[in-house]
Amino acid sequence: MLTDFLHGITYVPQGFRLLTAQGLRRFVLLPIAVNVLVFAGLLWWGAEWFHTLLLWLLPPAIPSEHSGALGQLLTFLEGTIRWLLWPLFLLAAVVVMFYTFTALANLIGSPFNSLLSARVEQHATGAPPLQGPKGKAFLAEAIEAIMDELRKIVYFALLGIPLLVLFIIPVVQVVAPFLWGLYGAWIIALEYGDYPLGNRGIPFREQRRITHQHRLLHLGFGAGVLCMTIIPFVNLVAMPTAVIGATLLQADLRSRTTQAA
């Protein structure tokens, strides 16, 4: 049991090592570059807004020959307060970026993740991934994709809401953070496993069954990715690492199933 969990973690460093592999770099670097540009733009906008706010709250003192010591004191205090507030703004901006980077990275990088997963599978197996069943009308495929996303949202909510309630129950709240960590690892395993499995046309309900069959393996993988997301700067590459690791994991599971058959 513990062996499966630890083996699942190993897919994270495997994914990290392949970040710079030939043929994969552009699918890794492009979403990261877009994310960095988006956050740089948000930081610039926030700094401009904060500067305007400071000018409104602390208008520059105009020195006057009649202002005397009081005017000099006010000028000194105004400059000191500005000097103190800017570092606080930068600290707050770093904290916000730290906690929101992974979520925004997933949103921006999602169009690239399926392509990255397909390239990783080709890199690992030497053959392009099998595609799901064709022949469906575009509207039918779109409706099916939307239903799958709704199933994921409902499933995640049904698991997550009861865990949030545990945080306000005395005594039980002691184990709530641990259970929340397991929940996060499980959701990550399902979220990133969707790319290699979705490339093969496997719906979310079947993805859940596959993940349940190897629970500890996927929990180990999800826990490893979760640790990456909370480490500053390392979380910059958490998303592509997770996509690559999940693809390698699913490729190994298929290989194991084929050999057993």
Q: Which of 184, 192, 188 is nearest to 114 (CA)?
A: 192
Closest residue by Cα to residue 8 from 256, 231, 222, 185: 222
Please, what is the average pLDDT of the chain?
A: 78
Q: For 120-134, what is each residue's pLDDT tens digit?
A: 988 887 776 655 554
C-alpha to C-alpha distances, 134 to 34, 109, 119, 148, nearest whole angstrom: 32, 25, 20, 17
Q: What is the pLDDT of residue 77?
A: 66
Whole-model pTM: value is 0.74
Q: Which residues of the chain have pLDDT under 50?
A: 66, 134-135
Per this entry, what is the length of the chain? 261
